[in-house]
Amino acid sequence: MTSTPDAASTDAASAARRLLIVGPPGAGKGTQAVRIAEELSIPAISTGDIFRANVSGRTELGVLAKSYMDKGEYVPDSVTNDMVRSRLAQEDARDGFLLDGYPRTLDQVEALDAVLEELGTSLDLVLLLVVEPEEVIGRLVARGAELGRSDDTEETIRHRLDVYAEQTAPLIDVYQRRGLVRRVDGMAAIDEVTASLREALAAR
């Protein structure tokens, strides 16, 4: 159940509406992104959703992306960047958005900067969910066993965490230098994390 917005979230709605949420696999970004976006009446935009929408809708970008995926190849950044550019230009994102899963690399940070400049706007805040790697591994391994997910083995989870540390840590440093990063304890209970994110938004 989504928590009832309070005064802090109301203040945040007028202060910060162009947001990015980051954190390692298992940090709960998707859950929190949906909650915060609903409270601020802005779309939660994940790269997974963008890809699925383009592929299922057979857009020009979706057909191009699928051609790479069908061959087992990575979709080039240029295609992903164009998908994000198209999504952020849609009417529902005009007054704000919450990005989840993009940007993932320094090159994508530059691409997002260019897209936002084209739209005449910029990021207001970067919400960083901080978690303990070993606790995340335990959490995801347990989830994998419960749901029968073959991709949630300890080996694959450690690899995903290594990739996150290698690719995303520099990204966080960039936004830290811009004074945009707000750190929140992602290991707390779900409602407590949501409350902390509200406070981070209101304190901007």
Which residues participate in catalysis according to the annotation? 29, 104, 143, 149, 160
Q: Count of residues for the chain?
A: 204
Cα 51-150-77 angle, rounded to 5 deg: 25
> Which two three-digit tokens encode residue 141?
């391994």
Q: What are the CA-CA distances from residue 44 to residues 34, 81, 98, 112 (Å)?
A: 6, 17, 5, 16
12: Cα within 13 Å, side-chain hemisphere: 26
Could you give the angle at which helices 190-202 and 29-40 cross, rounded to 10 degrees?
A: 50
Helix (H/G/I), strand (E/B), else coil: 146: helix
Give the DSSP per-residue string, 10-65. Answer: HHHHHH--EEEEE--TTS-HHHHHHHHHHHHT--EEEHHHHHHHHHHTT-HHHHHH
CB 86 within 8 A of CB 57: no
